[in-house]
Amino acid sequence: MKYITVKIPAIGLLAILCSALVSSVGSAQLKLHPNKFRQADQFRQLEEILPTPTETRAGSGAPGARYWQQTVDYDIDVKIDDNNQQLFGSETITYRNNSPDSLSYLWLQLDANIHRADSDANMISTTDDISSLGFGSLKAILAKEVFDGGFKITRCQESLTKKPLKHTIVKTMMRVDLPSKLEPGQSFAFEIDWNYQINDSSVIGGRSGCEFFEEDGNYIYEVAQWFPRLCAYTDATGWQHKQFLGRGEFTLEMGDYVVRITAPDDHVVASTGTLLNSEQVLTEVQRERLEESKTADKPVFIITPEEAKKNESNKPAGTKTWIFKADKVRDFAWASSRKFIWDAMQHNMGDYPVMAMSYYPNEGEPLWSKYSTHAIIHTLEVYSRYTFDYPYPVAISVNGPVGGMEYPMICFNGPRPEKDGTYSAGTKYGLISVVIHEVGHNYFPMIVNSDERQWTWMDEGLNTFLQYLSEQEWEDNYPSRSGEPRDIVRYMRSRNQVPIMTNSESILQFGPNAYSKPATALNILRETILGRELFDYAFKEYAMRWKFKRPMPADFFRTMEDASGVDLDWFWRGWFFSNDHVDMSISNVRQLNVNTKDPDVENVIKREEKDAEPESNSQRLNKDIEKRTHRYPELKDFYNSYDELDVSPEDKKSYERFFEGLSDEEKEMIAAKRNFYLISFENIGGLVMPIIFDAEFEDGTKQHVRIPAEIWKQDNAKVTKLLMTEKEIKSIVLDPSLETADVDLENNYFPRRIEKSRFEMYSGSRFSSGGSNPMRAAEKPKKPGKGKKAKEKKEADDGEAENDGGGDE
């Protein structure tokens, strides 16, 4: 799922594609943490919170010696009715029980039931302020009242006996009662027929749906969560059948698929898996071009923009059935339309080929042919380096109604240029970023198969982290939204937060919490805590250990420590289990020097100190009063001219006696010109971090100091560090490269400095969230500007994000 926003370099503006996710970042209000247990709390080990290791999940964070998971294979026939936007399916599911448990029933997910008028998702959605609803949102609310997009189950029977199976639908879940207990090691095959009405994405959005193009009368279908799918049965939770409410995504079993997709015969189908019958469904020219794309050094059109444009006025003569096979996948999705342009370029992953392909209508041009397939291959290159070689034969990006959503080998991505072909920087980087993000999801959670319905961060956080690394390898200073510590500061100091370790449906500020914060935390862990070498080794170890398996949070935390050799419990506790933020302050700097006891030296210093003392107000005002000793000078005596800081011969003798009594080493220590600085730091935010500072000396040189976070081990609130130097310190700057996400920089300076900023004389928003489009101004519009439909579409998108907390895309 997407949470893509990009910063546009030229104007430093946040271009927000999914605005509702970001707008919930609250006002910047600092909160002190009066935590009376702080003294011993931040470094307390996590053993008491994390689950006890078992034979299936080892204490090292690796799969245990008796690790198991179920396998579920699907054989599916599906037909799309392009006249009525309906889908008809028939599947045979083969369930193999690899667990040590006997099962009386199986649970399946009926995700389309979220589109029933009486779904929990509709019933529990809340509206605080109806006056802020746009037309799109209101249209969606009205449509959801009546639309019935739920599954119609027309058959459910055992394959062997063809006897009906008792099944009970519980909202978005369905329990199928087994005729007899399914013992460990046994398999059970059964068949289900179903159909449902496909949602029109312009009204009711979501992770799938169809889009109608008024101008040519055609549809793009992006089809996902479209068949009854087995729930996961795991060693950690038993059946994972928490209801589908919209935000918490999916958790599924790995298995093999054969899917026969029947569509109008002029449609092009893009799908998870390998196409088995290209000779029946592709033209000779298309097959030749596919051959050519295997050795090309840039994307090759399989269907050109001109051909796709021509296809828009086609009328189908019948249907065609496309057969796809996919092995070792947790899910299966596809897209179908006669509008698709199709380009492809082969990427060699080690010694085997991966075909990177993009499918998009002419409405996506010229942006899509330029960036989509390149972004796919870029993702495979970078992600594979940090994890494992991409194991599938294809990687596909499709443009249609869905803003950004991932499935094995295929993903749906929304950004399109304006109708005149120009686009804003936000749209360009939005597209590259969303393709990287959604293709990146192949690694997390499609292959490292975490439980999305429970823990959003385990796939979105890790994926957003790798997205940042990939973006930074795309071009210099790529405007990444998440990754740099400074970009998470606004969220970290906001109110209304929950820890990252929160169930998907209960997360507040969804995007920052589950995407940006974990991504930033991992980046800090890599750059500032562990260093790239240790981090990359441990992160790759986690990916390798859990490839095609089902990790839980503890498996990640434990593996990162196990492989890096660094106790990170304080880091997980602070960043993943708490709402604390980083706010460190330099509270005090004291300079100390050794007293030489030499009156010639010390008395001069004392006199300087005395002279530096300020004149008091009374002293100043009393100056002009004529004193009695002025009138009667005879009242003055010895003490009126005595200076206690004058060095007497007696003082000198006494010092010489002292000096003679010292050893040579002691004499040297006294003679050395050494300054002792006691620098006091305070931890105001609560989240402990390394102390990193630059000390600038009077001669203009600098010293960079890095102290591990463990300095806070005994006192989490205040520490004092001794710095010895022959030079005089002029100033100190804490976290000079902004690597800790410190929310208040002003107390990072010693001495404090005057804070400078600018304020605007005019209030109100001056920029739209989509970003300005200087390209249009530069290129002169070929056609009139953004049409009415595009504007309505935008409103509908915004409305969707609002209603579902941004969870549906």
> Per DSSP, what are the bridge partners of residue 74?
93, 257
Asked whether the bond before 690 is cis by omega within 30 degrees of 0, the reply is no
Instruction: Report H helices in 113-184.
Output: 120-124, 135-146
Nearest to Zn ion of 440, 574 (CB atom): 440
DSSP for residue 430: H
- Shortest Å distance, C-beta 437 to Zn ion: 6
Nearest to Zn ion of 379, 528 (CB atom): 379
- Shortest Å distance, C-beta 539 to Zn ion: 18
Q: How would you class 127 by CB atoms within 10 Å of its CB: exposed for 0-12, middle for 13-18, buried for 19 or more? A: exposed
Nearest to Zn ion of 460, 541 (CB atom): 460
* Torsion sign, CA atoms 523, 527, 530, 535: positive
Nearest to Zn ion of 345, 469 (CB atom): 469
- Shortest Å distance, C-beta 465 to Zn ion: 12
* Torsion sign, CA atoms 573, 578, 583, 586: negative
Nearest to Zn ion of 150, 551 (CB atom): 551
Q: How would you class 486 by CB atoms within 10 Å of its CB: exposed for 0-12, middle for 13-18, buried for 19 or more? A: middle
- Shortest Å distance, C-beta 444 to Zn ion: 9
Q: Element (H or E) spanning 137, and its range? A: helix 135-146
Nearest to Zn ion of 1, 733 (CB atom): 1
Instruction: Please tell me the count of residues contacting Zn ion according to CB under 5 A.
Output: 2
- Shortest Å distance, C-beta 504 to Zn ion: 12
**Could you say whether residue 18 binds Zn ion (CB under 5 A)?**
no
What φ, ψ does residue 129 adopt, rounded to 5°?
Answer: -145, 100
Nearest to Zn ion of 209, 417 (CB atom): 209
DSSP-derived pairing of the beta strands 71-81 and 255-264: parallel
Instruction: Count Cβ atoms below 10 Å from residue 623 Cβ, excluding itself.
Output: 9
Nearest to Zn ion of 451, 583 (CB atom): 451
Our CA angle for 300, 301, 304, nearest 5°, is 160
- Shortest Å distance, C-beta 463 to Zn ion: 6
- Shortest Å distance, C-beta 407 to Zn ion: 12
Q: Tell me the CA end-to-end span of the chain in Å, nearest whole number.
A: 6
What residues from 208 to 267 belong to the interface with Zn ion (CB under 5 A)?
none
What residues from 650 to 679 belong to the interface with Zn ion (CB under 5 A)?
none
- Shortest Å distance, C-beta 505 to Zn ion: 16
Q: Which stretch binds Zn ion (CB under 5 A): 293-301, 317-325, 360-368, 452-460?
A: 452-460
State how far Cα 332 lies from the chain centre: 24
Q: At what angle do helices 425-440 and 457-472 cross, to 10 degrees?
A: 130
Q: Element (H or E) spanning 376, and its range? A: helix 367-386
Nearest to Zn ion of 446, 741 (CB atom): 446
Cβ contact 389:370 at 8 Å: no
Report d(CA 742, CA 582) in Å as an integer.
Answer: 5
Nearest to Zn ion of 233, 465 (CB atom): 465
- Shortest Å distance, C-beta 249 to Zn ion: 8
Structure tokens at 139: 């249209």
What residue is closest to Zn ion based on CB? 1
Nearest to Zn ion of 1, 448 (CB atom): 1
Instruction: Count Cβ atoms below 10 Å from residue 403 Cβ, excluding itself.
Output: 27
- Shortest CA distance to 204 belongs to which of 259, 140, 147? 140
Q: Which stretch binds Zn ion (CB under 5 A): 1-9, 418-426, 490-498, 560-568?
A: 1-9
**Three-class SS of 464-491:** HHHHHHHHHCCCCCCCCCCCCHHHHHHH
- Shortest Å distance, C-beta 576 to Zn ion: 18
- Shortest Å distance, C-beta 675 to Zn ion: 53
Q: Which stretch binds Zn ion (CB under 5 A): 148-156, 203-211, 453-461, 773-781?
A: 453-461
- Shortest Å distance, C-beta 149 to Zn ion: 23
Give the SS3 label for residue 111. helix
Instruction: Count Cβ atoms below 10 Å from residue 122 Cβ, excluding itself.
Output: 18
**Could you say whether residue 446 binds Zn ion (CB under 5 A)?**
no
What residues from 395 to 424 belong to the interface with Zn ion (CB under 5 A)?
none
Nearest to Zn ion of 482, 769 (CB atom): 482
Structure tokens at 457: 């961060």
- Shortest Å distance, C-beta 226 to Zn ion: 20
Nearest to Zn ion of 418, 460 (CB atom): 460
What residues from 280 to 299 belong to the interface with Zn ion (CB under 5 A)?
none
- Shortest Å distance, C-beta 441 to Zn ion: 6
What φ, ψ does residue 26 adopt, rounded to 5°?
Answer: -75, 180
Report d(CA 146, CA 196) in Å as an integer.
Answer: 15
**Could you say whether residue 1 binds Zn ion (CB under 5 A)?**
yes
Q: Which stretch binds Zn ion (CB under 5 A): 118-126, 271-279, 454-462, 487-495?
A: 454-462
Report d(CA 773, CA 540) in Å as an integer.
Answer: 40
- Shortest Å distance, C-beta 474 to Zn ion: 18
Report d(CA 191, CA 158) in Å as an integer.
Answer: 6
Nearest to Zn ion of 194, 444 (CB atom): 444
What residues from 455 to 484 belong to the interface with Zn ion (CB under 5 A)?
460
Nearest to Zn ion of 89, 806 (CB atom): 806
Residue ranges binding Zn ion (CB under 5 A): 1, 460
